[in-house]
Structure 1
């Protein structure tokens, strides 16, 4: 038995005083209306309706049941209407955490358009490269690069981040342009990125035509924040290797020069992550859709499934 449909049918029979009128208003066959009410009575093990050839009326138990269930149905319909309205007009506070570069270079430049589309959503952005405790810090969702292995979290891939190696023209004039990854081991300085919260450096593995090279190299400076990585590169402190969306604009402008263009590193997957047991609100859903749109339209990122 479809319990909800049976309850709605019983309520309509009481309100119309007739199985036939209830069937017409519900656009159901009369015998279906009769069977639904009978099934509901069998489920409850009480008689809800008195039936005669001329009229239908509720029993005393039926009246009590009708009063309670009609109020519940009204509340049910109100909740569904509110959710439908929230879907088209989301509102409220959205707490989201992401890396500093994603915040400053991808999201924030588009927030004016997001606000124009969803004026009642307030976004609180935590911009940090450190790991975040979603539950403990009351964050709705986080955007993070790399694999997500925590089974208590749901991770939806937004896309991936192609990588490139680049340096300032002044640095290359002083140290030369590397032709092979092995050249980075001697005569060059790397600017290394360290994962926040640890001393572990992000590995650099470059491949071309079946040949793969793991670059170690020497570094004068290492950083644990993407903005600092870019600043050090622009300051001619060495060669950086990192996501194209961080340095691509500066390569396009000529402030940086791409090197080792024939060598590729795997694109870095990036996800939006939220607790598995948390209801995904309308404001989170529209934010996810917005981020997917960013990855589709940015020349420096790839949508899910796209080849490098």
Structure 2
């Protein structure tokens, strides 16, 4: 086996974290990856990875080798894919993974141009609240603020969004009153998108962060539409995205509470850099919105 193949198997082993996952990605037997990496270690007379029950862990020597060769490896893969993907694409679908909340709604009206250009391509959209490692999914594109494998991906900024503003129905305000400060929220019924999550996505539930502790929500639901409907029905005060494409009889609460912007990125694997479909998808998303829809829901 050539040095280049052994290096390839070593890099994919590191990227996927185990012999079995890297073998599946490479479409070879697990023993092939094991043998290649073992032979590479013998030839270099160095241990590159520690074999653990849960996978592998790089040694300091392995870390140095990986950092030295991974960029060149991915650049070569990208160039080869650019050649391979010239002309018409030989596939019938493209998968996007994004957040369950506002970003999935932001995405919908921006897909029209791409679908017009590629009527035979099926767009598959998966939403998630969890951290994503692109190399461990079958998604072609991630539209997210963060990714778990930053060294192996290309990130292009799509937009900056402000954290969700707070809203409540007029009926709720009439019944429970309107909070005048953030501290007043402790005396109100609060609706949250998810609780006990970290802040890597900008902390959608910023209204639960009290001065001394986390406030308890009366309702937790990880659906942007359900949250909107719950607020409209008077269930409580809830964060709703400023770009939310729905109209309704809601009142903004604590409008002077400022929140930082969150950057959202179009993320693809470095080895997919020459993919015409992916490049055209990005171009359609950053262009003007050609389709808008309003979902009107009545709470009475």
TM-score of the pair, normalised by structure 1: 0.55
Does residue 263 (structure 1) correspond to residue 260 (structure 2)? The answer is: no
Is the CA contact 1:91–1:283 (under 8 Å) kept in the aligned structure 2? no
**Shift of residue 266 of structure 1?**
1.0
Distance in structure 1 (CA, Å) of the matches to 2:212 and 2:275 = 43
For residue 76 of structure 2, what is the aligned residue in structure 1? none
Does residue 117 (structure 1) correspond to residue 111 (structure 2)? The answer is: no
For residue 61 of structure 2, what is the aligned residue in structure 1? none
Pairs aligned (count): 205
Q: Residues 127 and 280 of structure 1: is their aligned pair in 2 closer, same or farther, counting only changes over 3 Å?
A: farther
Distance in structure 1 (CA, Å) of the matches to 2:194 and 2:132 = 17
User: Within 5 Å, which residues of 2 pair with 1:135-146?
Assistant: 135-145=135-145
- The answer for unaligned runs of 5 or more in structure 2 is 1-81, 293-300
For residue 266 of structure 2, what is the aligned residue in structure 1? 272
For residue 131 of structure 1, what is the aligned residue in structure 2? 131
Distance in structure 2 (CA, Å) of the matches to 1:271 and 1:296 = 21
Does residue 183 (structure 1) correspond to residue 184 (structure 2)? The answer is: yes
> For 1:86-132, what per-residue CA distance to the aligned partner results, in whole angstroms no more than 9, with x for missing partners?
5xx99742111112345652233343443223334331222333334
Distance in structure 2 (CA, Å) of the matches to 1:165 and 1:130 = 23
Distance in structure 1 (CA, Å) of the matches to 2:169 and 2:286 = 32
> For 1:50-92, what per-residue CA distance to the aligned partner results, in whole angstroms no more than 9, with x for missing partners?
xxxxxxxxxxxxxxxxxxxxxxxxxxxxx96972x45xx9974
For residue 171 of structure 1, what is the aligned residue in structure 2? 172
Is the CA contact 1:167–1:233 (under 8 Å) kept in the aligned structure 2? yes
Is the CA contact 1:100–1:128 (under 8 Å) kept in the aligned structure 2? yes
Greater Cα offset, 91-100 or 282-291: 91-100
Is the CA contact 1:146–1:268 (under 8 Å) kept in the aligned structure 2? no
Instruction: For CA contacts below 8 A with separation 6 or more, give which structure has more relative contact order.
Output: 2
Q: Which runs of 4+ in 1 moved over 6 A?
A: 79-82, 212-215, 295-298
Does residue 288 (structure 1) correspond to residue 282 (structure 2)? The answer is: yes
User: Within 5 Å, which residues of 2 pair with 1:7-18?
Assistant: none
Q: Residues 294 and 172 of structure 1: is their aligned pair in 2 closer, same or farther, counting only changes over 3 Å?
A: farther
SS state of the match for residue 167, structure 1?
strand
For residue 20 of structure 1, what is the aligned residue in structure 2? none
Q: Residues 178 and 269 of structure 1: is their aligned pair in 2 closer, same or farther, counting only changes over 3 Å?
A: same
Distance in structure 2 (CA, Å) of the matches to 1:296 and 1:151 = 34
Greater Rg over alpha carbons, structure: 1
**Shift of residue 282 of structure 1?**
0.8
**Shift of residue 214 of structure 1?**
8.6
Is the CA contact 1:166–1:240 (under 8 Å) kept in the aligned structure 2? yes
SS state of the match for residue 135, structure 2?
coil
Root-mean-square deviation (CA), in Å?
Answer: 3.7
Is the CA contact 1:166–1:239 (under 8 Å) kept in the aligned structure 2? yes
Q: Residues 254 and 119 of structure 1: is their aligned pair in 2 closer, same or farther, counting only changes over 3 Å?
A: closer
